[in-house]
Structure 1
Amino acid sequence: MAKPRGWLEWNAEQARNWIRVPGPADDKYTRGVLGMRTGSKDYPGAAVLGAEAAARTGVGMVRYLGPGRASDLVLQRRPEVVTVAGRVQAWLLGSGINADTRGETVTRALDAALAEGLPTVVDAGALDRVAGGSDSPRPIVITPHYRELAALVNGRNGTTKTVTAGQIAADPGEWATRAARNLGVTVLLKGSVTRIATPSGVRLTVSNATAWLATAGSGDVLGGILGALLATNAGRIEADPDALAALAATAALVHARAAGIASAGGPLAALDVAEAVPAVIRALLAVPTERKH
């Protein structure tokens, strides 16, 4: 995709082009399989929210690989989810995992998924696994908030420089751009305005999300939406690495619009946002009246 000079606000017309509609020859595998290593003993709900959002975004299959209690809760909510290992087209890693308390087995599993080189969403408790950066861009989208990005930047700089969440909040565009370049990944920096930056210089924004979206679990839902979009568009990502930016912006736009439906001007819960995703996608795919002829 073309690289804008400044920040480009993503819109519904652009997002529509990144929603893959299945055809008569598709099956659950060709539609995309999303692998998930999310959730933990302390935060099993993150796995439920991510799986729910991914399923409602239109992925062909979700493979959830996580702790027993989280698996049970996922299956109670979404019995079609597969809980055994197998081929996937993309990964969602880290939601609901605490990097400070995860065990070696979980860390090895996260690293093994990253080593596959597939399109991957890296969230929360897996962010430290990309902190070393890379000499070449990787097919990874990280989804930090300000505090998480500060921790990543400080980890990259060692003890020579300390960046605070407040500094990132004061200039999120600069820090998202810098992190994308230094880490070799696409950055989706969450905030009142979502900013997406790539190592190659693509810079996108998604604005106008309801402030009610600042609630526990909303980031887990975003991860599921984005993971599903990566899985369904894995071929496009292979052909054009900057497709990650478009897909990240599309996920943020779907997330924001689903929150608007769920809120209707009042409070919402994260699961409400996931449940509203199909309505948003239907609206994005609908042909405007003036274009039907």
Structure 2
Amino acid sequence: MTDFEPWTPADAAEWIAVPGADDDKYSRGVLGVVTGSSSYPGAAVLGVEAALHTGVGMVRYLGPARASDFVLHRRPEAVTSPGRVQAWLLGSGVDPDHLDDETRDGFATGASSGLPLVLDAGALSLREEATGPVVLTPHLRELARAAGREVDDVAADPGDAAVRAAGEWGCTVLVKGHRTYVASPGGTRLVAASAPSWLATAGAGDALGGVLGALLATHADEIAADPEATARLAATASVVHGIAASRASGGGPITVLGLIDALPATIASLVRGGSTEA
């Protein structure tokens, strides 16, 4: 096992942007989102919900029409027209073998933008086209498939798998699981272990993508100054996601919308430096 540094709630608190009195919706960060599909519109809703609950000035949702309808029904403040963004979230709930026109165009726009990208699920292969900093967020099976390895081999040492993928692909890799491993090509190695076992549920990864996308959008300047910032933000997203899950669970079953509802209180507690318990 490659040595990994534990990423704690105190570490995460230092990577949460708190808006100032002079901030507006643009300076607070705008996240572009191309997620969901006709088959999986809920992935779009969960990612947008999580980003807004984590804290951005605006979300631009530019995915397929059916998913867009779901997003706007749930979050009418989401914007569905193109415009400036500081980061992109791409791929959650997308089948890469069956891309609709909106998704294909959105992927191309994000990949060529030079901006920070979160690539999840159906967008993992865009790492080869991306012109900006990239964070990949695969689960074990997705990483094994993308790396051409057996799932059992990856599962036996997910930290090492993250390190190998980061080195081969030249981007930050976050491997999702009860313990989340983050590795960058520059040598950062972080592990977060704040998630309860109840978090193994459909849609949890979609929400994590939204949390991470929001953090990238609110820290675009830091990423431009220090490429290793993407790894610290990825680990921060995992910590925030995991603590919110614990709050929502209370020791029992969890829904992803419940997790998302717990994000503001989780973030408030972290920035206060107080307890992370509900």
Partner of 1:148: 142
Quote the Cα distance in structure 1 between the aligned partners of 2:193 and 2:42: 27
Partner of 2:73: 76
The Cα offsets for residues 153-185 of structure 1, whole Å up to 9 and x where unpaired, read as 12xxxxxxxx11111000111110010011011
Does the 8 Å CA contact 1:198/1:245 hold for their aligned counterparts? yes
The Cα offsets for residues 72-128 of structure 1, whole Å up to 9 and x where unpaired, read as 111111111101010000000001101122246533431321111101100001012
Does the 8 Å CA contact 2:196/2:245 hold for their aligned counterparts? yes
Q: Which consecutive residues of structure 2, in runs of 5 or more, have no partner in the other structure?
A: none
Alignment counterpart, residue 270 of structure 2, candidates 277, 284, 287:
284
Quote the Cα distance in structure 1 between the aligned partners of 2:98 and 2:118: 21
Quote the Cα distance in structure 2 between the aligned partners of 1:122 and 1:59: 19
SS across alignment from 1:182: helix
Does the 8 Å CA contact 2:174/2:182 hold for their aligned counterparts? yes
Structure 1 residue 133: Cα displacement: 8.2
Does the 8 Å CA contact 1:64/1:84 hold for their aligned counterparts? yes
Q: Which consecutive residues of structure 1, in runs of 5 or more, have no partner in the other structure?
A: 155-162
After the TM superposition, which residues 205-220 of structure 1 pair with which residues of structure 2 at under 5 Å, given as runs?
Answer: 205-220=191-206
Q: Which moved more, 1:56-65 or 1:109-118?
A: 109-118
SS across alignment from 1:246: helix
With over 3 angstroms needed to count, the CA separation of the structure-2 counterparts of 1:122 and 1:114, relative to structure 1, is same
Quote the Cα distance in structure 2 between the aligned partners of 1:22 and 1:105: 32
Partner of 1:21: 18
Quote the Cα distance in structure 1 between the aligned partners of 2:20 and 2:194: 33
After the TM superposition, which residues 1-293 of structure 1 pair with which residues of structure 2 at under 5 Å, given as runs?
Answer: 6-103=3-100, 106-130=103-127, 132=128, 138-154=132-148, 163-288=149-274
Structure 1 residue 61: Cα displacement: 0.3
SS across alignment from 1:39: coil
Does the 8 Å CA contact 2:166/2:173 hold for their aligned counterparts? yes
Q: In percent, how many aligned pairs have the same letter? A: 55
**Aligned residue identity for 2:133:** P
Does the 8 Å CA contact 1:195/1:206 hold for their aligned counterparts? yes
Structure with bigger gyration radius: 1
Quote the Cα distance in structure 1 between the aligned partners of 2:274 and 2:208: 26
**Aligned residue identity for 1:172:** P
With over 3 angstroms needed to count, the CA separation of the structure-2 counterparts of 1:133 and 1:75, relative to structure 1, is closer
With over 3 angstroms needed to count, the CA separation of the structure-2 counterparts of 1:114 and 1:263, relative to structure 1, is same
Quote the Cα distance in structure 1 between the aligned partners of 2:102 and 2:193: 39
Does the 8 Å CA contact 2:166/2:185 hold for their aligned counterparts? yes
SS across alignment from 2:262: helix
Q: Structure 1 runs of 4+ off > 3 angstroms?
A: none
With over 3 angstroms needed to count, the CA separation of the structure-2 counterparts of 1:139 and 1:86, relative to structure 1, is same
With over 3 angstroms needed to count, the CA separation of the structure-2 counterparts of 1:119 and 1:110, relative to structure 1, is same
Structure 1 residue 198: Cα displacement: 0.0
- Number of residue pairs aligned between Structure 1 and Structure 2: 274
